[in-house]
Structure 1
């Protein structure tokens, strides 16, 4: 399924662009954490290789359990892919390593003078939570990991006063450093979110201004069209005194109505060759399918029905298509169906829906969906269009009679 997009006015905002700054900050955080963890990891690895503080078997097991996820997290952070699950694994595995530390060092001589290799990875485990854990859980890890280290270390070297003071200093130092790094990550994300929010609001404001300008330009174009075409046709009709002048005035009026009806879309007159009434059925069905609607078409075409001019058929199809679009947009297609009736006297097209209806007389004049695309379009070819709407639904009735 294609991702949804946010559309405002005339401007389409892709969903990924809404959080552009936040995504860049996440990528930077992942890279910085990866580089810092690599530096501390190399230092810890040198101390872990050949360490005599723990049993050799335990040394191999704990080293593999710790540095395996660490190496993968560093590589993923530099590449910018899949670093979150690997950071979560490291953040969960390292406290388990600290819990196993007293068992791994049991029965072996220990000195408080040299820190074990796990000491160098305390802040690696806490900063890994910045990439994956919620903020509250990050602070829990800032205290949990150093405290676990302090307990494991005192069990290893003994809990006399001097050792307690020394280990307590290490624990406090690790907690302070972890909190500082967590706060830096939180501040960067907060700034990125505010920047994204400000950017989105600016884009929406620009889109609203662009939409308002487009509406104003449309009004100006329609006003110019009314002035130049319709008014000229009315003046010509008023001054017509001969049959030829009246015919010319009628042609000017028809051309003006056609231009007004097609003001909202590119629609060509096309050839005027006669077409069968089934042309209406096929055209309405294709127009509905363009909007993913398989419309229910009820057909009643008399065998005596004559062909109708091509421009008339296209006008009826376009007007019916606009009525279908209106039903889809405003009535959600409830009870939508169409009727096509033709005999030797007239052609009738009805588009009916079962929506909540609307006040036909309250539609603004600058909305061309009904006045232009339906009424004026049918009137331009000598037909009639009526729109009736109530709480039980809306009926768009399009009629065209054969010349007698």
Structure 2
């Protein structure tokens, strides 16, 4: 009866990627607001230069007080640094400029049809709050600044019905536009926060999965150690009938005790320095020699074959050694031989015997000779282990491919 079992195990690390974070949204908002404010600021500056609606002295003072902080805020927004305090400064200074506007225009001829240069900066002052103020104050500024403009504008041109209607339309338009811009900023920040939260949850879940995987790998290593060393030593001691067999059992027991003592320091894993594929051949021959068997190892290593990571070579060597031990113990070593092939793409190790075979699917889960010491051990380093067994014998194939 033929049976087959194969498995592959690999811990996949998600590729590094860029996340849409709150910090990035803040930088984008600062840059976009700076560009928009620069456009509106230039438009307002052209109207402010040579304006006749206010006294000439006041014009110079208000222009300097208004556009000085505005230029600094725009520069900081483009640079992405110190834009919050400068935006807050402009958002506070501009209402003070509005309060001074009736004084600056007192006694001057007013035109209801020509908007003053301060009109073009209403939404600059409101959108600046999106960079510096809490959301509640942002909405407060959306109403306060346009309404304050409406009051000082009516003081300047008079509060007749036509002027009130005209200025009211301007105020409502400014409020609506300000609210829309504040809502866009709020929605972008909310989206960024949710994405950041999702990212944190994903990282936390991945960390938990990685921790669980580490525990599982440790369990596999301990189980394989128990089977490879301790159980093998006990079985050898039980079956020893000659002085040579007893000496071998004593040596296996001594080795098992050493590996158990060093298990907490991961002595079995060792360094991860690259080794040649022939390292696996040495491990197979050593395992056979422990049972006083001279195994035929057929080697086909291509010149293009690359060195293996140390942990991979050890896993393949230990899994192959366990397959050799199984063949000796259960098949009497009949027809036992090994094949090790390597090229620039993969390493393949085959352990073959000519015993009576067994039903792979019928092997109990608590028997670790195949599931723990061979299949799980190879899967832990990203390889594949395949066991085929028929009445004509058993073949264990271990396969590991280089990362491209």
For normalisation by structure 2, the TM-score amounts to 0.59
Instruction: Give the equivalent residue in structure 2 for 1:139.
Output: 139
Q: Is the 8 A contact 1:30 1:83 kept in 2?
A: yes
CA-to-aligned-CA distance 1:69-118 (integer Å, 9 cap, x gap): 11111111111111111111111111111111111111211111111100
Q: 1:229 to 1:267 in 2, by over 3 A?
A: closer
Alpha-carbon shift at residue 237 of structure 1 (Å) = 3.6
Q: 1:60 to 1:262 in 2, by over 3 A?
A: farther
Instruction: Give the equivalent residue in structure 1 for 2:180.
Output: 180
Q: Is the 8 A contact 1:95 1:145 kept in 2?
A: yes
Alpha-carbon shift at residue 250 of structure 1 (Å) = 4.5
Instruction: Give the equivalent residue in structure 1 for 2:287.
Output: none
Q: Is the 8 A contact 2:37 2:74 kept in 1?
A: yes
Unmatched 5+ residue regions in structure 1? 1-9, 269-404
What CA distance in whole angstroms lies between the structure 1 residues aligned with 2:247 and 2:145? Answer: 94
Is residue 228 from structure 1 mapped to residue 228 from structure 2 by the alignment? yes
CA-to-aligned-CA distance 1:163-193 (integer Å, 9 cap, x gap): 1111111111100000000001111111111
Instruction: Give the equivalent residue in structure 2 for 1:361.
Output: none
Instruction: Give the equivalent residue in structure 1 for 2:200.
Output: 200
Structure 2 counterpart SS, 1:53:
coil
Structure 1 counterpart SS, 2:263:
coil
What CA distance in whole angstroms lies between the structure 2 residues aligned with 1:263 and 1:179? Answer: 66
Instruction: Give the equivalent residue in structure 2 for 1:62.
Output: 62
Q: Is the 8 A contact 1:18 1:200 kept in 2?
A: no
Alpha-carbon shift at residue 33 of structure 1 (Å) = 0.3
Give the greater-gyration-radius structure (CA).
2
Q: Is the 8 A contact 1:102 1:155 kept in 2?
A: yes
Unmatched 5+ residue regions in structure 2? 1-11, 269-404
Q: Which segment drifts farther, 196-205 or 65-74?
A: 196-205
Instruction: Give the equivalent residue in structure 2 for 1:190.
Output: 190
What CA distance in whole angstroms lies between the structure 1 residues aligned with 2:258 and 2:85? Answer: 63
What CA distance in whole angstroms lies between the structure 2 residues aligned with 1:145 and 1:85? Answer: 19
Instruction: Give the equivalent residue in structure 1 for 2:114.
Output: 114
Instruction: Give the equivalent residue in structure 1 for 2:297.
Output: none
What CA distance in whole angstroms lies between the structure 1 residues aligned with 2:261 and 2:139? Answer: 65
Alpha-carbon shift at residue 45 of structure 1 (Å) = 0.2
What CA distance in whole angstroms lies between the structure 1 residues aligned with 2:247 and 2:70? Answer: 88
Q: Report the count of equivalent residues.
A: 259
Instruction: Give the equivalent residue in structure 2 for 1:156.
Output: 156
What CA distance in whole angstroms lies between the structure 2 residues aligned with 1:53 and 1:262? Answer: 90
Alpha-carbon shift at residue 135 of structure 1 (Å) = 0.6
What CA distance in whole angstroms lies between the structure 1 residues aligned with 2:95 and 2:19? Answer: 33
Alpha-carbon shift at residue 205 of structure 1 (Å) = 2.2
What CA distance in whole angstroms lies between the structure 2 residues aligned with 1:240 and 1:197? Answer: 63
Q: Is the 8 A contact 2:259 2:267 kept in 1?
A: no
Is residue 53 from structure 1 mapped to residue 53 from structure 2 by the alignment? yes
Q: Which structure would you say has the larger RCO, counting Cα contacts within 8 Å and 6 or more residues apart?
A: 2
What CA distance in whole angstroms lies between the structure 2 residues aligned with 1:185 and 1:100? Answer: 30
RMSD, matched Cα: 2.9
CA-to-aligned-CA distance 1:287-316 (integer Å, 9 cap, x gap): xxxxxxxxxxxxxxxxxxxxxxxxxxxxxx
